[in-house]
Amino acid sequence: MVSWFDPEEFERLRVARGVIWGRPVRLLESTSSTNDLGLEAISTPAKTGIVWLAREQTGGRGRRGTAWVSTPGENMTLSILLRVPGPLERASGFSLLVGLALREVIEGTLRSPRSIQVKWPNDVLIDGKKCAGILIESRLGAQQELALVVGVGLNVLAREFPPFLQEATSLAREDADPARLDFESLLVSLLHALERRTPAFLKAGPASLLDELERHDFLRGKRLRVGEDEGEGAGFDERGHLLLRQEDGSLRTVLTGHVEFLDALTPG
């Protein structure tokens, strides 16, 4: 039994909310990266919905080779193994689903209304500051299923961030209700929010997310550069690709890349 996560309380909340995933939750005092544990499990009989939750990661990874920095015990660092029918390209759109699920979890903790937005491809922001990051890594499993390792870093209790993370925030810094910041209920809420969106996503792909995304899209209406492409954020197509509106009104589709803001004052 560890002091920072009570499996019995988690189980009670999981059953009460009818959540299926999270059986089991594997707790780690310290590990290099929970995503590595998820990736290793793909080739074993490990079932869909297993969670690895670490108090400390010594080699936490973000997108594009960055490090994910988190003071031990303050924040949630976890990975979920999901096995879903292919194809492989589903993985990139799934990160939008995870972003919306995290957005819902964050909203449920705050005491005052805030702007909680998904920033394509993998961030969730509160009033323009990053509160959560997503790293999905995928492989084809032994049954040709798509095995997704959904890595989530959610800043929960951190009050201070290192100087290079000044655009970061946490739930505790944003007027969250302290009674709603226990890791057991946050994890159950996240699994619930993921499970609720997944069936429609498996049927219709990212198109199933477009209405919700339109309401919570941080990039919409902002002048952006992604790689060689420039334009105004104009939502997403039904495959979950970012759309940029060009000066002549035409739309450009962006599959992946790092977003830069052309208006210097835009946060993020």
How many other CB atoms are found less than 10 A from the CB of residue 61? 19
**The sheet that has 223-226: what strands, in order across it?**
251-254, 242-245, 229-236, 223-226, 259-261
Please say whether the beta carbons of 201 and 214 come within 8 A: no
Q: What's the rounded Cα separation, in Å, for the pair 80 and 37?
A: 10
Is 33 near ligand BTN (CB under 6 A)? yes
How many other CB atoms are found less than 10 A from the CB of residue 168? 18
Is 90 near ligand BTN (CB under 6 A)? no
Give me the amino acid identity at 56: E
Q: What's the rounded Cα separation, in Å, for the pair 180 and 86?
A: 36
CB neighbour list of residue 67: distance below 8 Å, 6 or more residues apart: 59, 60, 61
Please say whether the beta carbons of 56 and 73 come within 8 A: yes
> Which residue in the set 93, 121, 133, 233 belongs to the binding site for ligand BTN (CB under 6 A)?
133
Is 62 near ligand BTN (CB under 6 A)? yes
> Which residue in the set 22, 49, 60, 233 belongs to the binding site for ligand BTN (CB under 6 A)?
60
Is 34 near ligand BTN (CB under 6 A)? yes
Q: What's the rounded Cα separation, in Å, for the pair 132 and 139?
A: 23
Is 92 near ligand BTN (CB under 6 A)? no
Is 57 near ligand BTN (CB under 6 A)? yes
Is 135 near ligand BTN (CB under 6 A)? yes
Six-digit token string for 144: 């040709």
- Judged by CB under 6 A, the stretch of 10-18, 22-30, 57-65, 219-227 that binds ligand BTN is 57-65
Is 134 near ligand BTN (CB under 6 A)? yes
According to DSSP H, which parts of the chain are helical? Answer: 7-16, 34-41, 90-107, 183-204, 210-215
Is 79 near ligand BTN (CB under 6 A)? yes
Q: What does the DSSP 8-state code read for residue 229?
A: E
Q: How far is the CB of 251 from ligand BTN (least distance, A)?
A: 27
- Judged by CB under 6 A, the stretch of 16-24, 53-61, 158-166, 235-243 that binds ligand BTN is 53-61
Is 66 near ligand BTN (CB under 6 A)? yes
- Judged by CB under 6 A, the stretch of 80-88, 130-138, 159-167, 218-226 that binds ligand BTN is 130-138
Is 194 near ligand BTN (CB under 6 A)? no
Q: Which residues bind ligand BTN (CB under 6 A)?
A: 33-35, 57, 60-63, 66, 68, 77-79, 122-123, 133-135, 151-153
